[in-house]
């Protein structure tokens, strides 16, 4: 377990990876600069009835781990969404999403995860968080290698999307992805299906960030699509930490954590939504979790 933890937090840093905790080394504002506030090591994004705000990484990556610590909007956050995600570009893009859905004061905050593979999404899962994410910082991570994509909260896995290419199911492994975060108004759907609207008398709504870490394979724009996977895959000349065998699947403790999360906190899973999917999606049939 100690070895696994060391690998996951990036203490074993091998060729081609980067790691930092400073916002401006890794990221840049992408819109609404006047809705950014910097307070020492903290970054705050503000949403009001004029605009939300967002930022993006300066580089793109293939495989590794990305972590951001976030303290979500306090008080009545109904209608707001704070997103942390990775995405490539184009109509056949890949994307891994955390979307934090605000709620009325006292109601549980929920997190929705989703994956797009080759431009196709509709893989939503939703959890009610087992803590109050507005009172202190929690770490949200995406770990990604050729075997699986793992969404984690405070190092607890909450979702695993496995590589099932042997079943004819595409897996995201050849498109470099940027890292993004934003806050915006989504009261047409975000809170109780859109029934609870944003109360602008509580604006500005503020999400606070710190602890920006990217420990992943950096893919400069000069690297062609054909060369990206080759560059970021371990070989006889180089070994990347995310390709270590111990990280090819969850260990027993992590598997138990994931089962606990799903049993106690999952409130929606596309795999069991027969109204949307009368035929169970193929990956749902084969996934162990």
Domain of 187, CATH number, reads 2.60.120.200
Overall average pLDDT of the 79-85 stretch: 93
The answer to whether 165 and 62 have CB atoms below 8 angstroms apart is no
> CA of 188: how far to CAs of 76, 81, 115, 172, in Å?
16, 11, 21, 30
Residue 11: which pLDDT band, with cuts at 50, 70 and 90?
Answer: very low
Overall average pLDDT of the 85-104 stretch: 92
- Taking only the tens place, the pLDDT of each residue in 57-81 is 999 999 999 999 999 999 888 889 9
- Taking only the tens place, the pLDDT of each residue in 112-165 is 999 999 999 999 999 999 999 999 999 999 999 999 999 999 999 999 999 999
Instruction: Residue 145: give the domain boundaries.
Output: 23-286
Q: How far apart are CA 242 and CA 87, in angstroms?
A: 19
Look at residue 20 in the predicted model and tell me its pLDDT: 63
> CA of 139: how far to CAs of 50, 66, 241, in Å?
29, 10, 20
Answer yes or no: is pLDDT of 3 > 60: no
Query: Looking at the annotation, which residues are catalytic?
Result: 95, 99
17 in any annotated domain: no
Please count the structural domains in the chain.
1
Q: Helix or strand or coil: residue 284?
A: helix
Answer yes or no: is pLDDT of 245 > 90: no
Give the predicted TM-score (pTM) of the model: 0.90
């Amino acid at each position: 377990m100690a070895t696994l933890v060391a690998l996951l937090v990036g203490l074993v840093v091998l060729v081609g990876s980067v790691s930092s905790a400073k916002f401006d080394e890794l990221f840049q504002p992408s819109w609404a600069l006047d809705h950014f506030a910097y307070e020492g090591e903290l970054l705050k994004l503000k949403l009001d009835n004029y605009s939300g705000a967002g930022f993006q990484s300066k580089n793109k990556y293939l495989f590794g781990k990305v972590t951001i610590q976030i303290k979500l909007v306090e008080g009545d956050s109904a209608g707001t969404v704070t997103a942390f995600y990775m995405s490539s570009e184009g109509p056949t893009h890949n994307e891994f999403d955390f979307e934090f859905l605000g709620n009325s004061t006292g109601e549980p905050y929920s997190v929705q995860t989703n994956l797009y593979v080759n431009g196709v999404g509709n893989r939503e899962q939703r959890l009610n968080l087992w803590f109050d994410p507005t009172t202190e910082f929690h770490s949200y991570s995406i770990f990604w290698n050729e075997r699986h994509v793992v969404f984690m909260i405070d190092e607890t896995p909450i979702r695993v999307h496995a590589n099932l290419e042997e079943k004819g199911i595409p897996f995201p492994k050849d498109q470099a992805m940027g890292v993004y975060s934003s806050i915006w108004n989504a009261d047409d759907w975000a809170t109780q299906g859109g029934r609870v609207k944003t109360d602008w008398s509580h604006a500005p709504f503020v999400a606070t960030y710190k602890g920006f870490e990217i420990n992943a394979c950096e893919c400069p724009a000069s690297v062609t699509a054909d060369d990206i996977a080759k560059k970021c895959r371990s070989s006889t000349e180089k070994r990347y930490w995310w390709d270590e065998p111990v990280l090819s699947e969850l260990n027993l403790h992590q598997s138990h954590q994931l089962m606990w999360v799903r049993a106690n906190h999952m409130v929606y899973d596309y795999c069991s939504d027969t109204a949307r999917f009368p035929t169970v999606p193929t990956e749902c049939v084969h996934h162990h979790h």
